[in-house]
Structure 1
């Protein structure tokens, strides 16, 4: 078989954008799931479902960096995953009820089927070795997913959380097996393409935040308080958007120049995963404030209002520090302010807590707007990641 070549730079295709529409639906489902179950158990359930949905998107997107979407085989794979993903995402509201099997079976068909497909499309020997290990890790998690689908109530959450932890551990450690380790710098990979796909996925999350705000505004009475809380929500969304995109070009250049794009890509995938989770939480908090602006904020609303932006900012701060020697003090101060704000506004009206949370984010934007643009020095690759494939 011929090894599939991966161009250093490639435009995102209309089919990839079409594929993402299923995940616009998914993020909306997850936001509604969190709003419908505003408890610790509900949050844990939403998190497990979100991680599964994100894994389905991320690994499929990663696959398209290896076999371009222009390839007819990739087009067929994307459309198949899109069809399965529609059924998987439709099952989200009842995944911990009577639709557990529908969610798990479609998820496993995507996860295992796409990985098996990658092993048959002509990747080079090193890439095939990596995806064989990925398949082993996914297969190891599958019994936990299936056992959870057969269980009821809290037991389902425990089994599915265990499956999720297995998959996260595999991704974080590059899916090792005994005696099989791979130097990621020697694997071909279109890191710039993955970065662009991640930025587009982030726009999906912003779209859901705006849709949530608009829907809440439509349902609320048109009084000054509604206009205030909706304006605050939109201001916060715009500020978070600015933080993500205003200085992303130096990260783009890093992806284009780095000798280890897979390491940078893995860091970016994790950062995006947490950032989107933060946006979902923040959007849910905004909806609660618009619906009940003068109620006491309480722990649930405050964790959404302050915790969502904290997850979002923290993930991007970590990503920047992982790629560059550039740990921004302004972001650390903003994270500290969000923690303090969450603690001191528990008994305040919800609208006041929302104003304070957004004010912290806007203040961070204003500080970073004055910071000179430019690349930070690239962080050296840790020696622990420079390991060789013992099978060579």
Structure 2
């Protein structure tokens, strides 16, 4: 990270983030349980909702003081509500959807309330928030209505909530939000670390369940190499360069819009890529002597592609350049997953994926047409 910090991420924020990442990892089970196109669509919809709740608190924590005791209590209560929503998440499209929707809506509303109340003495920032709140309040209301609606209507209510969420940030783009670049970047970097760590935990538990045979061990080693590559391609330069670019934008409105595009929207596919890759690894660990098929092959392709491609659009938005090594890596991942995945033991495509991602890391570190060079 660069030295642009006005304040640091607090332990309370990290506590909330741990609960959020648990909610995200619940989606792995959702995909295993429903492997068809509908399952992928439902998982994507739930990921958006969970990510949006976390993002809302990321913006709130960036803008207000969370150290006051009443605020702490609200954040802890929101963490409990997020835990309840996470536990109920696998049944969100079942008969007990309200068990997810009610605590979820409470989290969203708590975040918005803290945001508004915490800016009582910041008239300029509150003026920007005033353009966002009326639309933002509709999203959790639609999620709540969908949770109480029938199973057939529920996806449409929740898709409407997603549309409203997008409309809310488009509306907010006209306001001058005060963004602490260092804190915002650090918060997203730390949630990335937690997500990567949870992926390692999930892989380890699945390997233990499968039994540590030689095949399982090699699959685990190859999968860990891919996750280590994920870490490298993000923290080697992306994290610091993105923060520097955000800190270098002096205009409040433009900085707020950049934070929205580069982090709130741009990091969603990166987190999604981690989750989806874990699905592929679990399939490989449970069937280490069989080529991947169906869900395993799809997840093997989609996960790393989302992770690598997630920052391509963000870099284009922030620096005006294309990350060609990363784009080539996306093509390489697709070839390996779709051509080799269905025809070889899982350790082979996983090992090749690790090589592809390592090649991306090496190529990017030697190039200067990147956000890092622009920020410098």
**TM-score, normalized by length of structure 1?**
0.85
* Worse overlay, 344-353 or 106-115: 344-353
C-alpha separation in 2, matches of 1:350 and 1:170:
46
Secondary structure (helix, strand or coil) at the match of 1:11 reads coil
Superposition RMSD in Å: 2.4
Distance 1:282 1:64, change over 3 A: same
Give the 5 Å matches for 1:140-179. 140-171=138-169, 173-175=170-172
C-alpha separation in 1, matches of 2:374 and 2:90:
45
Question: Could you tell me which residue of structure 1 aligns to residue 39 of structure 2?
Answer: 42
C-alpha separation in 2, matches of 1:112 and 1:303:
36
Gaps of 5+ in 2: none
From the two aligned structures, give the one with the greater helix fraction.
2
1:125 matched to 2:123? The reply is yes
Give the 5 Å matches for 1:185-200. 187-200=177-190
Distance 1:40 1:284, change over 3 A: same
Q: CA deviation at 1:142?
A: 4.3
- 1:145·1:160 contact (CA, 8 Å) conserved in 2? yes
C-alpha separation in 2, matches of 1:143 and 1:68:
27
Distance 1:123 1:56, change over 3 A: farther
Match of 1:262 among 240, 256, 260: 256
* Worse overlay, 8-17 or 276-285: 8-17
- 1:122-147 per-position Cα deviation (integer Å, ceiling 9, x unaligned): 15334323323333223333453234
- Deviating 4+ runs (over 6 angstroms): none
Match of 2:11 among 11, 14, 29: 14
Number of matched pairs: 365
- 2:26·2:86 contact (CA, 8 Å) conserved in 1? yes
- 1:91·1:103 contact (CA, 8 Å) conserved in 2? yes
- 1:29-64 per-position Cα deviation (integer Å, ceiling 9, x unaligned): 222222232222122222222211111111112111
Question: Could you tell me which residue of structure 2 aligns to residue 204 of structure 1?
Answer: 194
Distance 1:376 1:369, change over 3 A: closer
Match of 1:292 among 281, 287, 303: 287
C-alpha separation in 2, matches of 1:8 and 1:223:
47
C-alpha separation in 1, matches of 2:332 and 2:81:
42
- 1:219-260 per-position Cα deviation (integer Å, ceiling 9, x unaligned): 123322111111110000000100010012222222222213
- 1:58·1:269 contact (CA, 8 Å) conserved in 2? yes
Question: Could you tell me which residue of structure 1 aligns to residue 342 of structure 2?
Answer: 347
Q: CA deviation at 1:346?
A: 5.5
- 1:79-128 per-position Cα deviation (integer Å, ceiling 9, x unaligned): 22112112111111211123311211112222123313332331533432
- 2:283·2:292 contact (CA, 8 Å) conserved in 1? no
C-alpha separation in 2, matches of 1:202 and 1:88:
21
C-alpha separation in 1, matches of 2:181 and 2:162:
25
Question: Could you tell me which residue of structure 2 aligns to residue 387 of structure 1?
Answer: none
C-alpha separation in 2, matches of 1:288 and 1:131:
45
C-alpha separation in 1, matches of 2:121 and 2:269:
30
Question: Could you tell me which residue of structure 2 aligns to residue 138 of structure 1?
Answer: 136
* Worse overlay, 112-121 or 304-313: 112-121
**TM-score, normalized by length of structure 2?**
0.89
Q: CA deviation at 1:324?
A: 1.3
Question: Could you tell me which residue of structure 1 aligns to residue 363 of structure 2?
Answer: 367
